[in-house]
Amino acid sequence: MAFEALGELLDESLHLPVGDRTYTIPAPSAEVGLRVQAIVHAAAAAADGGKVDDEVLADAAEHDLYRDVLGSAYDEMVSGGVSWPALKHAAITGMVWIAQDKDAAARYWSTGGDPSRMAPNRETRRAAQSGAASSIPSRGSTSGTSTRPAPDRSKGRRRR
């Protein structure tokens, strides 16, 4: 079996519409991808109250992360006069794409950066949970044994 060229299988760019223009974010280098993965992992650990790897976060501060994530689109966006919120949203969308996949990046993009729009609200989650719980029948015993309590054997025993 022959393998197809990887370039034929992967769409290695992200296309983000900002204003009246669509910017293409090229696939990051392996180095940038690995660094973004480490930063996202450290941020998730910090959000969960875990220990944060200071070296990873210092590395993020040391480099121009948004420039690395956006690649050639960074200079195009800056020279095109894109606003800071738009550039930041595009860069974070790029980070989500690198750390997860295009579907997750599209979900993040469509929220406008508002994390509360990413997850369903409490009422929707509860309705889904209660609906799922009530629609699953309880499992019966498969052992074939009775659930009646064992007889009390102390009755009928003779005292010595």
| 138-153 pLDDT per residue, tens | 555 555 555 566 666 6
Residue 10 has pLDDT above 60, yes or no: yes
Whether residue 65 is contained in a domain is answered as: yes
What digits encode the pLDDT tens for the residues 37-85? 988 888 787 777 777 666 666 666 656 889 999 999 999 999 999 999 9
Residue 69 lies in a domain: yes
Which of 21-30, 84-93, 110-119, 125-134 has the least mean pLDDT? 125-134
**Could you tell me if residue 6 is inside a domain?**
no
Is 71 within a domain?
Answer: yes
DSSP string for 35-97:
HHHHHHHHHHHHHTT----HHHHHHHHHTTHHHHHHTHHHHHHHHTT--HHHHHHHHHHHHHH
Domain that holds residue 105: 31-118
Read off the pLDDT band of 1 (50, 70, 90). Answer: confident
pTM listed for this prediction:
0.65
Note whether residue 127 is domain-resident: no
Of residues 56 and 107, more confidence is placed in 107
User: Any idea which of 5-14, 36-45, 113-122 has the lowest mean pLDDT?
Assistant: 113-122
Residue 88 resides in a domain: yes
Count helices and strands in the chain by DSSP H and E runs: 8, 2
Q: Is residue 111 part of a domain?
A: yes
8 found inside a domain? no
Q: Under a CB-based contact definition with an 8 Å cutoff, are residues 126 and 64 in contact?
A: no
Side chain identity, residue 4: E
User: How are beta strands 21-26 and 13-18 bridged, if at all?
Assistant: antiparallel
The pLDDT value given to residue 15: 94
Q: How many domains does the chain have?
A: 1
Q: Is the pLDDT of residue 26 over 60?
A: yes
Determine which of 26-40, 60-74, 108-122 has the lowest per-residue pLDDT on average: 108-122
pLDDT at 134: 47
